[in-house]
């Protein structure tokens, strides 16, 4: 009996609940407000420590010559980058190498920023060498090969001025070059003999590898470069030269030879 009374009571309670809530407006959802996002300012760019100025276009180098490269040291930290733009006009040098033997002598310049042209043989005995170089001290010398030895001209010294032109004549000797007939290398005491060529004055004198030439025609060889030693020891075939040779712990002994031609 109690169960039958409980069921209708529940139904009535549900009905009353529906009646009270039927005409009421549904709850209004709280609107979502969009947050204002402020754009982040761009990160400032770091200024470069070195800036290179824009390069202006340059005229092409004359045909047959190459423009020398400009070398520079990098600046220190925080210093502006500045390129060396030294465009001073170079000096022009023309060298006539005269070789009476007709072998077409060569030319050796000792100048700054040398830009050479191809040599031009204008006769059986004369070859013309042309080059440009930066203003300043400069020297030129002619050379040819006589067998195993070089023949040299006198060295001509110049003081080049920007934009100026120079003509130099270098004349090689007509005689063949003769010498002692040894190979050598510089050491502290002088010039060390490393080998002796067969059939030469050095072999006839009995020179041996290990001997040290300490003096030539009164000049200490310890103060000479290899090229300077060659120029003093070698000379026109048939001429004489004096020198001192040290062997082991012995006192240097004097020698004299007549220069002879040395085959390759």
Cα separation, 10 vs 187, in Å, equals: 126
Q: Are residues 155 and 188 in the same domain?
A: no
CATH number at residue 140: 2.60.40
Q: How confident is the model at residue 20 (pLDDT cuts 50, 70, 90)?
A: low
In a domain, 72, yes or no: no
Query: Could you read off the pLDDT of 138-193 as tens digits, one per residue?
Result: 999 999 999 999 999 999 999 999 999 999 999 999 999 999 999 999 999 999 99
In a domain, 99, yes or no: yes
pLDDT over 80 at 210, yes or no: yes
Q: Are residues 167 and 187 in the same domain?
A: no
Range of the domain at 186: 177-258
Q: Which pLDDT does position 22 carry in this prediction?
A: 53
> What average pLDDT does the structure give for the chain?
79
Helix H, strand E, coil C: the string for the chain is CHHHHHHHHHHHHHHHHHHHHHCCCCCCCCCCCCCCCCCCCCCCCCCCCCCCCCCCCCCCCCCCCCCCCCCCCCCCCCCCCCCCCCCCCCEEEEEEEECCCCCCCEEEEECCCCEECCCEECCCCEEEEEEEECCEEEEEEEEEEECCEEEECCCEEEEECCCCEEEEEEECCCCCEEECCEEEEECCCCEEEEEECCCCHHHHHCCCCCCEEEEECCEEHHHCCHHHHHHHHCEECCCEEEEEEECCCCCCEEEEEECECCCC
Q: How confident is the model at residue 88 (pLDDT cuts 50, 70, 90)?
A: confident
**Domains held by the chain: number:** 2
Among the ranges given (31-40, 41-50, 139-148, 159-168), the one the predictor scored with the smallest mean pLDDT: 31-40
Q: Are residues 148 and 183 in the same domain?
A: no
pLDDT over 90 at 120, yes or no: yes
Q: Which pLDDT does position 104 carry in this prediction?
A: 85
Percent of the chain exceeding pLDDT 90 equals: 62
Q: Are residues 159 and 194 in the same domain?
A: no
Q: Are residues 146 and 97 in the same domain?
A: yes
């Amino acid at each position: 009996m109690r169960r039958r009374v409980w069921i209708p009571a529940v139904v009535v309670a549900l009905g009353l609940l529906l009646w009270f809530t039927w005409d009421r407006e549904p709850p209004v959802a709280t609107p979502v407000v969009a947050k204002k996002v402020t754009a982040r300012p761009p990160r400032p760019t770091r200024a470069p420590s070195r800036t290179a100025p824009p390069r202006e276009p340059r005229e092409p180098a004359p045909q047959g010559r190459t423009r020398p490269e400009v070398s520079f040291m990098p600046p220190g930290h925080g210093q502006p980058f500045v390129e060396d733009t030294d465009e001073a006009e170079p000096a022009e040098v023309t060298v006539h190498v005269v070789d009476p033997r007709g072998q077409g002598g060569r030319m050796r310049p000792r100048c700054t920023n040398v830009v050479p042209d191809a040599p031009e043989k204008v006769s059986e005995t004369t070859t013309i060498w042309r080059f440009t170089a930066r203003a300043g001290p400069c020297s030129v010398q002619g050379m040819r090969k006589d067998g195993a030895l070089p023949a040299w001209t006198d060295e001509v010294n110049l003081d080049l001025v920007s934009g100026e032109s120079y003509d130099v004549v270098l004349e090689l000797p007509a005689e063949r070059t003769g010498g002692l007939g040894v190979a050598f290398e510089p050491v502290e005491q002088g010039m060390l003999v490393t080998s002796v060529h067969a059939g030469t004055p050095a072999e006839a004198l009995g020179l041996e590898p290990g001997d040290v030439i300490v003096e030539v025609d009164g000049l200490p060889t310890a103060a000479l470069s290899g090229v300077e030693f060659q120029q003093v020891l070698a000379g026109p075939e048939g001429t004489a030269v004096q020198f001192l040779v040290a062997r082991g712990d012995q006192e240097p002994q004097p020698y004299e030879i007549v220069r002879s031609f040395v085959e390759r």
